[in-house]
Structure 1
Amino acid sequence: MPLSVADLAALGNTPITILSTTFPNVYLRMDGTGVTTWNGSGSGVVNCQFGAGPYEKFKVLPQADGSFAFASATFSNVYLRMDAAELPQIPGGPGGGTVNCQVHVGTHETFKLLPQAGGSFSFESTFFPNSFLRLVGFGVTASTNGGGGVVNCQFGAPGGDHEKFFLNVAA
């Protein structure tokens, strides 16, 4: 059963997974290998994985403003980062921008969770208004060492096919 905003605020250190609503069994994957110091443009790899292993588990950190940060459950002090500065402002277009990792929670590492139909959420950047986390998992049908698919940003598409996720307690 997908988690609610109230559930997320009360999880503590319990890890979750971030599952695409469009691509069956395709999860958000964050590889923080070598991400040990702050880098202005971020580093590491965020993409997709078929099934949920260690790189697909996150800890939810509620922020004072009601937003959330997502830390890797595998890589210490590594957070999901979204930079939509270069995102084309074309709703429903091909997406763009950069989604990767950072070693601390700053302006690019916090998200508003917008509830969608069926218990899913869209992730809106708190720093880049109207910019959403986007996952395209075409061809991601088996687990691979490096993951696959595309994770980037989308302008003006809350609730779009590639911008909705189920958040579940990790198995």
Structure 2
Amino acid sequence: MPLSVADFAALGSKPITILSTFFPNVYLRMDGAGVTTFTGSGGGTVNCQFGAGPLEKFRLHANADGSYSFESAASPNVYLRMDGAGLPLITSGPGGGTVNCQFGVEPYERFKLHAQADGSFSFESATAFPNVYLRLVGSGVTASTDAGGGIVNCQFNANGGGHEKFLLNVAG
């Protein structure tokens, strides 16, 4: 059963998964191998995976400003990073920007979670890029591969968009 905002406080250090609502059995994948210190442009790889293995597990952290950060369960202190610089200010098309990993939590690693009517969430940049949302396109991701696949980037003004909605579940 998907998690709700009311469930977040009880999670503690239990890992969660981030499942696309649009692409069946396609999860957000974050490979933070080699990300061991802060780097301005981030590093590692964020893409999609069919099914949920170790790189598809995250720890949800509440920040003092009301935002949330997603830490890799496989790479401690490595967080989901979203950079919306240069993103076209249109609500359709291929999106843009950069989604990757960062060591530690700075402004690019903070997200507002917008609850949707279907129990899913859209992830908006909390401080660095207002009205910029996490976008996942899992077209062709139909089997698990070592490198993952698909596209994870940013979309402008896409709260509740098809490629911008995710179910949060306790990892099995």
**In structure 1, distance between residues paired with 2:10 and 2:125:** 21
**Superposed CA offset, 1:68-95 (max 9, x none):** 0000000011000000011111112210
Q: State whether structure 2 residue 148 is matched by structure 1 residue 147.
A: yes
**In structure 2, distance between residues paired with 1:80 and 1:9:** 20
SS in 2 for 1:119: coil
**In structure 2, distance between residues paired with 1:25 and 1:131:** 25
| Structure 2 residue aligned with 1:75 | 75
Q: How does 1:13-162 map to 2 (within 5 A)?
A: 13-126=13-126, 127-162=128-163
**In structure 2, distance between residues paired with 1:20 and 1:117:** 15
Q: What's the offset of the Cα at 1:41? A: 0.5
Q: What's the offset of the Cα at 1:34? A: 0.5
**In structure 1, distance between residues paired with 2:113 and 2:10:** 15
**In structure 2, distance between residues paired with 1:10 and 1:78:** 22
Report the identity percentage.
72
Displacement over 4 Å in runs of 4+: none
Contact 1:20 1:162 in 2 (8 A): yes
Q: What's the offset of the Cα at 1:10? A: 2.6
Q: What's the offset of the Cα at 1:117? A: 2.2
Contact 1:92 1:156 in 2 (8 A): no
SS in 2 for 1:11: coil
Contact 1:9 1:61 in 2 (8 A): no
Q: What's the offset of the Cα at 1:65? A: 1.4
| Structure 2 residue aligned with 1:163 | 164
**In structure 1, distance between residues paired with 2:158 and 2:77:** 30
**Superposed CA offset, 1:42-77 (max 9, x none):** 000000000000000000000111110000000011
TM-score under structure 1 length normalisation: 0.98
**In structure 2, distance between residues paired with 1:88 and 1:6:** 34
Two-structure CA RMSD over aligned residues (Å):
0.6
Q: What's the offset of the Cα at 1:151? A: 0.1
Deviates more, 1:9-18 or 1:38-47: 9-18
**Aligned residues between the structures:** 171
